[in-house]
Chain A
């Protein structure tokens, strides 16, 4: 079985996100006054093949210990089965 993992990484809420602040300021400058807040993060896709429970264990390790830094970042992910060729 093939699986697609979508991993989302953002800076923790307590940490200043200078990129998000810059985007937020720029949007306000362009007149989008209803934007309250912007945060910039990362999105990473991983494709897997094999047994789902083994993949889930590996994905947790990869997402929490390699793709994100728990000191500064929060991470969450979705894992879905895919039929077609994914790249």
Chain B
């Protein structure tokens, strides 16, 4: 599996993404600068976290208009798996690849700590190696992670099982105490209609090795590998 990890001015989780989608799972991952216009030959695309363009205007808004994003859109429409993490999630919503938007955390604080997530669907290129309902611990680090969509969009996401991860308490309760940022329906990650695009605020690439203290994020990259290798359809 060969994964393109897109780099924008201000990306800062790019090399973590290269490591997680590359060496950690014994695959190839390559950083790609945002001015590139072709991503031919890549099996998967990772839009990493960070602060593209310093979060000016709105988080992800300027990056969403980068040359490379036209190519990301083209390949996403062809079915290539695309994962956006944190700022990557913001970029994918701004680019129209995922519905909704991310607003300021309701506390107005930058949040940087572990959260618990419930895996809501295993039917995706990014979650097939988890168990449905599994509780995993993954770190967040964001200022604008409060997921918002109008009620029609929310109903569609829920009805079609497109919520991938939801914030919960450590024992799996979907309550306000488990929700760090005020995201509607405790949404931490969503899929597009074709299920080949995932956006999530927490950082699975930060928990992929015992050395890092936890391997709960590894499943995302192992799922991607399984999907690209053809083991899961």
Contacts and interface: CB of A to CB of B under 8 A. Distances in A.
Interface of A: 11, 15-16, 18-19, 22, 66-67, 69, 71-72
B143 to A, nearest CB: 11
Interface stretch (B103-111, B186-194, B203-211, B220-228): B103-111
Interface in B102-150: 103-108, 148-150
Contacts of A66: 57, 61, 65
A16 B101 contact: no
Contacts of B84: none
Contact of A71 (B101, B105, B108): B101
A11 B150 CA distance: 13
A15 B104 CA distance: 11
Among B58, B94, B100, B149, max chain A CB count under 10 A is at B58
Nearest to A44: B57
A71 B106 contact: no
Given A15-B103, A15-B148, A16-B182, A69 B94 contact: yes
A18 B108 contact: yes
A58 B113 CA distance: 43
A59 to B, nearest CB: 16
Interface of B is mostly: loop
13 contacts: A16-B106, A18-B103, A18-B106, A18-B108, A19-B108, A22-B108, A66-B57, A66-B61, A66-B65, A67-B57, A71-B148, A71-B149, A71-B150
A72 B105 contact: no
A11 to B, nearest CB: 8
Among A16, A18, A22, max chain B CB count under 10 A is at A18
B199 to A, nearest CB: 13
Given A18-B106, A71-B99, 4 more contacts: A15-B148, A66-B57, A71-B101, A71-B150
B193 to A, nearest CB: 17
Contacts of B104: 18-19
Contact of A69 (B101, B106, B107, B108): B101
Contacts of B101: 69, 71-72
Contacts of A15: 103, 148
